[in-house]
Structure 1
Amino acid sequence: MEDLDQISIKIHGCLSFSIFKVNPGNGHVIPAISPKTWSEGNSHTLREDEMEEEIKAEFSNSGFSLDEEEVILRKCLTFCINYSLSPSDLVSSWEVYYLNRQLNESTVHDAEMDGFLLHLQNAVKESIINEEPDLHVYSNKDVDMMFNDGDRYAKEETIGTPTNKLYSHSSELFDSEYQQNGSTFSAGKPSDIVTPFGHRKEKFAVRFSINQPPTEENAKELEPDSEDDFLKKVESRGRCSMILHGVKLDPNCRYMYDRIEDRFNALEGRIKSYSRALILSGVHGELMDPSVASQKSMVSVGMICCDGEGHLNDNSILLQSSDEYSGGQWVRLDLQRLSQFSVFPGQVVGIEGNNPSGHCLIASKIIDSNPLSASADINLPSAKRQALDKEGQIDPSFSDKELSMIIAAGPFTTTDNLFFEPLTELLSSASRKIPQLLILLGPFVDSEHPEIRRGATERSFNEIFHMEILRKLRDYVEYLGDTVRVVLVPSIRDANHDFVFPQPGFDIRSSDLNDQITNLTNPGIFEANQVKVGCCTVDILKHLCGEEMSRNPSDGIPSDRMSRLAYHLLTQQSFYPLYPPAEDVPLDFSLAPDTLNFSVIPNFLILPSDMKYFVKVVSLGGRNESEEQVKCICINPGRLAKGESAGTFVELHYNGNPDTASVSVICI
């Protein structure tokens, strides 16, 4: 017997399958159909040599050549006999297998025959089950249970899991094995398969924290000892309000048809917006054309550009002004007189300096941010503002900005399998901590996962997403009740979603998930309990890190590099101010103006990145007495899974003050 997902037997030297059904009278397992029945029910009149010639001709007509002709034809003949296929049907099935595996060569190799056989088995099995829904396909798990009178899959215990019945149920709920409606499909792993993730020694260890979050000993004291304590803890926190800000992209929106005009308007709009804000501040006076020769000091606004395809350096910095002031002309920018600065391509800045020759603007000061107002808010039409709480209004009881969150970014499974063990562990932890908000950021079905890239999975990307992600989240919210919310943010690395940036949210009907799972655009801003949270899953920090040019940054600009990169996003008021974008970012400029830019500084800015996790409190404004300081907590939660090992996530408790917020980076 071969180690496959179904019971298999040997026929003519190749594998086939057996399907059984249960006799309702005595519970005995009886065969519903056998390979012999298939071959006898549709016997071929052609002799074997004639069939081989016909198979060879069909492959040739479809444009395929055979590498080891004799061996391949003999195996294909066996396939035709065992599965009652004509040579044309066999070649048609090969074409489907060829396309699904994304094979490049038109030569049929013997090494592909085992995979092709599995493809034929699955196709025939599905057709039989569709014709007779009362059939049950028995897996190795079922057979093991019959003989051993027990479950072959052992449940893994999580360190620190309480022993009372309530938490035992929580642990079972998010264990690695799942079944639904009697289906034999299992998302878990057999007990005899121990992954590197299962071998990890440190579980839920705190890697970094600020403002002294509860220690492990204190946390145990806070855990409820009974079901009544658990219910009181859930009820005391209550359901957080939820408002989406900005334009909600339609999941079926038209994209990747942007024109040069769209690109020009998007860039020109950023420069004009910055210019208007600088004029309204009344600090720097009238703006001038930077390309006009002048011995006097002047203030100009433009976008930092690079003269060439390389990185910025002292001799390649250009300033492109707006069409209104200079017709969009470029002028060389000299920063030699500045002892400190930090610039990158696409950054919109104000430059104070002079242009003696008309060919080079000599800067004496860079104005990298406009005055900010702490009371600023997003004033959008009601059609663009969606309240997602049950009553359709904000709960008036939330007068204080208090919120508890758990934040995690994909991938949610390790690279050696598609078991999604890190996600299971995360939900198990969240079911004990009971945060008001669980924020999950893609990728969920990572297009860079080895098995996804090879096409080695038999399930579609949507099936993986619904079975491994949505089903577990549905169990999570159903177990904890209406007090918890989940926010899903897609990624351009999601194989089951649109490859475009900005990116619409997942097309999931909220009614199916009790309005507890919110699908946010990428990027997007939402408000929970009057706490504004901005999210973007494109790795802008990594992209800016490779393009930024700085010199002793200070005077309001953070010297720490991660804080400085986050500071740039806040001062530019854009989730992706870099231009031109990185090569792997499918930026659509027709969608960018309404979704990439934001007009208010959020309380939290979540920026998942491949770079090391961090939590930074970034301050803006406050450079003069009339300007109030605004603070934003910028978070990179890291990746929940890193290769074959565990990653990190963030646990956060916010009480309205960024300086006293409790934030912990925890290793899964």
Structure 2
Amino acid sequence: MTQLNELIARFGRSADDPKILGALEDLSKIYSLEAEELYIKWEQYAYQKHKQTVDLDLDTLDAFKQSIQQQMEKKASLIGGQPLSASSSAIKKPKALKPNVSSPSLFGFGMPKTPTLKKRRVEPSLTHQEDNSSPVMASADRSETFFTPSHRPENLKSMTSAAASPLLNNPDPGKVVDVLNLANIDPANGIDFDEGKRVKLIPFFEASKFNFRTMRQNLLDTADVLDEQIENFTQVIQQHYNIPANDIGDPSVQSQSEITAVGRIVPDSPIADGILNTESLALETSRLAGIGRRVQLNLGKVKELTLFPGQIVGLRGKNANGECFVVEEILQIPQLNFPVSTGTELQTYNESMENKPMKVVVVKGPYTPSDSLHFSNLASFIERINTDIRPHVLIMFGPFIDITHPLIASGSIPDFPELKNQPKTLDEVFTKVLAPILKQINPAIQVVLIPSTLDSVSNHAAYPQNMLDRKLLQLPKNFKCYTNPSTFQLNETFVGCSNADAFKDTKEIVKGGNTSLKNRFDRIAEHILTQRRFYPLFPGGIKKRKSHDQSGSVPWEHVTGVDLDVPYMGLTEFAGNVNPDVIIIPSELTHFSRVVQNVLFVNPGSFIRSSGVRGTFAQISITSPNLLEGTLTKVEGDEDIYLHNVWKRCRVDIITA
């Protein structure tokens, strides 16, 4: 597919104009952006400036061009006023995408407990790739890698000295850049350290089910899970629409009768090879309904749609010619119910908080710039946490020590002048450098740690991911290490957290009317709720980024994305078969807070952005559940059961770090 066709496929019919297409092509060439990258920047621009979809015309594109130019100039000023070039790209180690895991049961139920692998300490060895790219440390366990000064490449001496780098420039820390429910709710004051009262924190996941061995994925188990997903949604759709069993058919079989088919949206070719469109989609059936066959979809009669790879859908139509399934209607999958509490429980929580609001702060890594392993920015932030912000709960997402950090990927860990005994492993970098900073958090503040698949201190490099080991990391008892994803309860509020970027990885096909007018974040949030999983995409998103070594002469590709442990994907479903009150999914895209289908979605942004500047964090203020104020909805038919209505009594501030 040519670049012009890719631009039309991505930007839609409005781009099928010679002037508009020429302007888009110029932007792509001037700033060396592929069609997908340019489209993502366009959606970010539209949301930041207009909070909604805007018309694609020459005037808007001119303003869009100025916005991109300002971003480029800002990045250039951050690296000493020099223009950005390929040689300034950070050195990163290509990440090998490997299937993981052994055979379990389906969807998290009855999963066998398996022992974790014991760590083996190996002698350090340094190997070079045949293409003379960045040197990579070879080790049996990435958390047990050793580093010595003699192994550091000469061209990285300037980077290793960055351990003593000063604080990143942030002229306006604490500035509120976005607010949800500004007019209705005031920000919470935070915890009173003298009283010592804590929010009740209850996990809603079975930690033992995440304690499985990775890199043991079995194809039959993977097929069982993918098949079970379709069968489960078949039952949901059949019951919701009262469809007789005889009307659920095989879309791949030629028939003149209209049937209802349930299956998975798949591209007719690998996603990495081209741009998706309505002409390149197929429906994958289950083994029970269609022996797992795939059939081409004809979506010409559907006026509005939004589809993505891996989506489970219900379709009405027929396959009259035996070659394609002509879709007449896409059935909406019903939403899950919401969590409820009794009036007595809510009154207890209200009294424990003395009718005061609860404050929750959410921050997401990385916590160091790309040119150093210095945590001074995090240390200054924690000082603000203890003195000014004072949240009841602090939720911290990884990566805490990023395995793809240029210094770690190159095997060039710097010396830390403040330490007498230098760390020899990545685990020791955490315990000797990062842990002392985290321990400065006031013990009255409860801290929740959610790992990332890029965390060097995690034994699981795939999603879903086991929790970190609090004792091994030498953290105090006010720290709670939870799984990725995880669901937990803060007093009456159910919070779902996932550290997999579903918002950026989901590549949609959007067509028509009200669907196309919705903001992209809203559409993907609806997909997450409808598919009932924190990461509904399949296969996992893959992003390739071209980079260079320090000399700028050796290009290579860094592959990022989510490695899925498919046999354990049941662990990524919503706990308790209900929607959480709050869903927190950090994304590389623009920070946001939105209410979708009465669920609060929050993306706090990164603590330190890829450009090297300090980013943002989210501050969530939830008013106490007072039954007398009328903010809670009583469930019909029950005398003492109430919906939490967190989206009505919650304020979210996105604040610069």
- Which TM-score band (shorter chain)? 0.5 to 0.7
Identity of aligned residues (%): 27
Matches within 5 A, 1:100-115: 101-104=126-129
Q: Which residue of 1 aligns with 2:176?
A: 206
Please give the secondary structure, in 2, of the residue aligned with 1:429.
Answer: helix
CA separation in 1, counterparts of 2:355 and 2:232?
33
Q: Hey, what does 2:338 align to over in structure 1?
A: 374
| Separation (CA, whole Å) in 2 of partners of 1:276 and 1:403 | 39
Tell me what 1:554 maps to. Answer: 514
Cα deviation, residue 234, structure 1: 3.7
Q: State the one-letter code of the partner of 1:594.
A: L
State the SS of the aligned residue for 2:602.
strand
Deviation at 1:548, TM superposition (A): 1.3
Gaps of 5+ in 2: 1-120, 133-146, 153-160, 342-347, 416-422, 543-560, 624-644
1:414 and 1:567 map into 2 onto residues whose CA distance is: 34
Counterpart of 1:274 in structure 2 is 233
Which residue does the alignment assign to 2:390?
Answer: 434
Which of the numbers 504, 507, 511 marks the counterpart of 2:469?
Answer: 507
CA distance 1:563–1:524, shift in 2 (3 Å): same
Partner Cα separation in structure 2 for residue 634 and residue 582 of structure 1: 20
Mapping 1:330-349, distance limit 5 Å? 330-349=294-313
Q: 1:288 corresponds to which residue?
A: 249
**Is structure 2 residue 199 aligned with structure 1 residue 257?**
no
> Deviation digits for residues 430-475 of structure 1, max 9, x if unmatched?
2122211100001100122222222221532112222333322222
> How do residues 326-405 of structure 1 correspond to structure 2 at under 5 angstroms?
326-375=290-339, 397=352, 403-405=358-360
Structure 1 counterpart of 2:600: 633
Q: Which amino acid aligns with 2:269?
A: G
Structure-2 change in CA distance of 1:659 and 1:202 (3 Å) = same
Query: Which AA in structure 2 matches 1:507?
Result: D
Q: Does 1:523 pair with 2:485?
A: yes
* 8 Å contact from structure 2 (residues 535, 572) kept in 1: no
1:459-478 superposed matches below 5 A:
459=423, 460-478=425-443
Report the equivalent of 2:403.
447
Kept in 1: contact 2:268–2:280 (CA 8 A):
yes
CA distance in structure 2 between the aligned counterparts of 1:446 and 1:553, rounded to whole angstroms: 42
Deviates most, 644-653 or 591-600 = 591-600
Q: Give the equivalent residue in structure 1 for 2:379.
A: 424
Q: Work out the CA distance in 1 between the residues paired with 2:355 and 2:309.
A: 40
Once the two structures are TM-superposed, the CA of residue 349 in structure 1 deviates from its matched residue by: 0.7
Kindly state the Cα deviation for residue 320 of structure 1 after the two structures are TM-superposed: 1.2
- Does the 8 Å contact 1:522/1:537 carry over to 2? yes
Specify the code of the residue in structure 2 equivalent to 1:548.
E
1:70-121 superposed Cα distances (whole Å, 9 cap, x missing partner): xxxxxxxxxxxxxxxxxxxxxxxxxx999455445899xxxxxxxx995599
Residues in 1 aligned to 2:278 and 2:332: alpha-carbon distance in whole angstroms:
18
1:198-236 deviation digits (Å, cap 9, x = unpaired): x33111111111222899xx98xx97xxxxxx9x83466
Q: Is the 8 A contact 1:501 1:585 kept in 2?
A: yes
Distance in 1, Cα, partners of 2:489 & 2:649: 20
User: Partners in 2 of 1:402 and 1:558 — Cα distance?
Assistant: 35
In structure 2, distance between residues paired with 1:353 and 1:452: 54
Matched, 1:248 2:220: no
Match of 1:321 among 282, 285, 306: 285
Q: 1:376 to 1:350 in 2, by over 3 A?
A: farther
Q: What's the CA shift for 1:315?
A: 2.1
Greater RCO (Cα-Cα under 8 Å, separation 6 or more): 2
Task: Give the drift of 1:372.
Answer: 3.0
Spell out, residue by residue over 1:591-648, the C-alpha distance to the aligned partner (whole angstroms, 9 max, x if none). 22234454221111111111111111111xxxxxxxxxxx111111110001421111
The whole-number CA distance in structure 2 between the counterparts of 1:606 and 1:344 is 21
Aligned partners of 1:400 and 1:281: how far apart in 2?
40
Structure 2 counterparts to residues 91-240 of structure 1, below 5 A: 99=124, 101-104=126-129, 118-119=149-150, 194-195=166-167, 197=168, 199-212=169-182, 233-234=192-193, 238-240=197-199
**d(CA) in 2 for partners of 1:242, 1:528:** 5
Pairwise CA distance, 1:398: 7.4
1:375–1:352: structure 2 CA closer, same or farther, 3 Å change rule? farther
Partner Cα separation in structure 2 for residue 200 and residue 371 of structure 1: 42
C-alpha change, 1:505 and 1:285, in structure 2 (3 Å) is same
Q: Determine the structure 1 residue equivalent to 2:259.
A: 298
Q: 1:349 to 1:105 in 2, by over 3 A?
A: closer
- Residue 503 (structure 2) aligns with: 541
Q: Residues 347-374 of structure 1: CA distance to partner in whole angstroms, max 9, x if unpaired?
A: 0011012222233211121124224323
Q: Partners of 1:663 and 1:235 in 2: how far apart?
A: 26
CA 354–517 in structure 1, closer or farther in 2 if over 3 Å, else same: same
Q: Match of 1:440, SS? A: strand
Cα distance change on mapping 1:400 and 1:267 into 2, 3 Å: farther
TM value normalised by structure 1 = 0.62
Task: Describe the shift of the 1:237–1:560 C-alpha distance in structure 2 as closer, same or farther (beyond 3 A).
Answer: farther
Greater Cα shift, 206-215 or 514-523: 206-215
Preserved contact between residue 249 and residue 521 of structure 1 (Cα < 8 Å): no
Q: How far 1:507 moved relative to its partner?
A: 1.2
How far apart are the structure 1 equivalents of 2:434 and 2:616?
18
**Amino acid across the alignment from 2:402:** D
TM-score (norm 2): 0.62
- Contact 1:510–1:516 under 8 Å retained in 2: no
- Cα distance, 1:420–1:251 mapped onto 2, change above 3 Å: farther
**Which 10-residue stretch deviates more, 346-355 or 244-253?**
244-253
Query: In the comparison of the two structures, how many residue pairs are matched?
Result: 453
Q: Which amino acid aligns with 1:365?
A: E
Residue identity in the other structure for 2:488: F
The corresponding residue for 2:646 is 657
For 1:574 and 1:117, the matched residues in 2 are separated by 43
Residues 447, 548 of structure 1: CA spacing in aligned structure 2 closer, same or farther, 3 A cutoff?
same
Distance 1:296 1:514, change over 3 A: same
TM-aligned CA deviation for residue 252 of structure 1: 5.6
Q: Would the aligned equivalents of 1:439 and 1:487 in 2 still touch at CA under 8 Å?
A: yes
What RMSD over aligned residues (CA atoms) do the two structures have, in Å? 3.6
Distance 1:207 1:558 in 2: 24
Structure 1 stretches lacking a partner, 5+ long:
1-95, 108-115, 122-186, 224-229, 378-392, 620-630
